[in-house]
Amino acid sequence: MAEPSSDLSPFEAVQYFFHDVADQLGIDDPTREVLNGTYREIRVQLPIRRDDGRVDTFYGYRVQHNGARGPYKGGVRFHQAADLDEVRALASLMTWKTAVVKVPFGGAKGGVQVDPSTLSRPENERLTRRYMSQVSYIVGKKRDIMAPDMNTNAQTMAWMMDTWGRSYGHEPAIVTGKPLTLGGSHGRDAATGRGVVMVLDAAAEQHGWQPENLTVAIQGYGNVGSWTARIAAERGYRIVAVSDISGAIYAPDGLSIEMLDKHVAEAGTVAGFESTEPIDNNTLLELDVDVLIPAALGEVVHHLNADRIRAGTIIEAANHPVTPVADSILADRGVTVIPDVLANAGGVTVSYFEWTQNIQEFKWTEEQVNEQLGRYMRTAYRKVRERSEDLETTLRRAAFAIGISEVAEAAHLRGYV
């Protein structure tokens, strides 16, 4: 495989990782065509009335990448960068992610291209409902199940379930990540962050690291970053830096996440938290820490800063935070990257538990959810690690090898190719 270029789009980057591993696995061309491309892509126009009476039009996407292993599954994000290419990339990552953790779903993703900070709550509700009604004919509990992602949450899912139900009848399993009172699962809100920490625990156990001796920097303090920080701190890891869009903070002796949460509740940002040094987001990525956890946007570690990363291990809590060029620079430098399709799979795993609870009309306790999540994450970590040892390759290539082999087998058994 030729060296990756530094200006790949998000979908081209995922395709690079795909072909790199498909070459190693000797996947034939017709199978590659089916696995690499997307099954269905839709773009919908979303005019909404603003609170002041004007009408503004936004655009939304839903990409169903591959459904060989089960119904399409994946979140919906509201973000200004959520164009068709990015949504395709994220849909494809969902296909490999669900296969790596062995939950019986395919991969999909949705996006509405909007800066959500410009929307009032009623505008956000109108946009969410409009999006769901425009894509409603391609979703279904056995077809395509949406969930939260960047800038969407349990409230978004409640509006989506309600909108879909008005046309087709009440159906909690139509979306996951719902509020508890509407059929959501215990533990879903924290699940992605909890899964990230389970992966960190598994790595620590493998290498004999003690949590209290390990320094961790987390980029992003949204749902994933903040839960990762909370649960990692509970487990004794030393969180020395965190950030959000307003800035980053550094405290070499470790942050009290409990106090930080109080500060965030009042100030609306991590910036300005007492007894910390203000730094910028780029500096956070380059801190001399043991573990770096990018938990926000994609492509934050790239060809210009990969040489300056000092962490020995990167855990990809965000989707596609490391570009292919950076990935190969980091591999050459001996930095371990635990890839997104493994590290952030806790969210979709608990979405699977939520979906099964909805179908059974039964509720698990939080202990049951977390225990099962631990089993899925530890098994996935062990399989990826073993595959990387067998193939003498990186954890990303090993995870893609597992994902691609699973999906190829399902596609062959169904007779797609």
Query: Which chain residues interact with ligand GLU by CB under 6 A?
Result: 73-75, 147, 149, 176-177, 319, 344, 347-348, 351
**Residue 177 or 187: which CB sits closer to ligand GLU?**
177
- CA atoms of 358 and 73, how far apart (whole Å): 15
- CA atoms of 369 and 251, how far apart (whole Å): 33
C-beta of 372: minimal distance to ligand GLU in Å? 15
DSSP 77: E
| Residue nearest ligand GLU, CB atom distance | 75
C-beta of 417: minimal distance to ligand GLU in Å? 26
- CA atoms of 175 and 13, how far apart (whole Å): 28
**Residue 32 or 88: which CB sits closer to ligand GLU?**
88
- CA atoms of 302 and 282, how far apart (whole Å): 11
**Residue 95 or 344: which CB sits closer to ligand GLU?**
344
Q: Given the structure tokens 């379930």, which residue do they identify?
A: 161
Q: Containing H/E element for 97? A: helix 84-100
Distance (Å) of CA 2 to CA 23, 243, 328, 340, 394: 11, 35, 12, 23, 17
**Residue 147 or 200: which CB sits closer to ligand GLU?**
147
> 50: which residues sit within 8 A by CB, 6+ positions away?
56, 123
- CA atoms of 180 and 61, how far apart (whole Å): 27
Catalytic site includes residue 109:
yes
Tell me which of 73, 97, 102, 109 is the catalytic residue.
Answer: 109
Token duo for residue 197: 């920490």
**Residue 35 or 76: which CB sits closer to ligand GLU?**
76
Handedness of CA 162, 168, 170, 172 (dihedral sign): negative
- CA atoms of 29 and 277, how far apart (whole Å): 53
Burial class (CB in 10 A: 0-12, 13-18, 19+), 404: buried
Handedness of CA 288, 294, 297, 301 (dihedral sign): positive
3-state secondary structure 33-49: HHHHCCCEEEEEEEEEE
- CA atoms of 74 and 262, how far apart (whole Å): 31
C-beta of 94: minimal distance to ligand GLU in Å? 6
> 33: which residues sit within 8 A by CB, 6+ positions away?
417
What's the chain's Rg over C-alpha atoms?
20
C-beta of 152: minimal distance to ligand GLU in Å? 8
**Residue 62 or 238: which CB sits closer to ligand GLU?**
62
C-beta of 188: minimal distance to ligand GLU in Å? 8
β-bridge mates for residue 215, sequence order: 238
C-beta of 101: minimal distance to ligand GLU in Å? 10
C-beta of 9: minimal distance to ligand GLU in Å? 18
**Residue 74 or 339: which CB sits closer to ligand GLU?**
74
**Residue 4 or 193: which CB sits closer to ligand GLU?**
193
C-beta of 46: minimal distance to ligand GLU in Å? 20
Q: Which residues have a catalytic role annotated?
A: 109
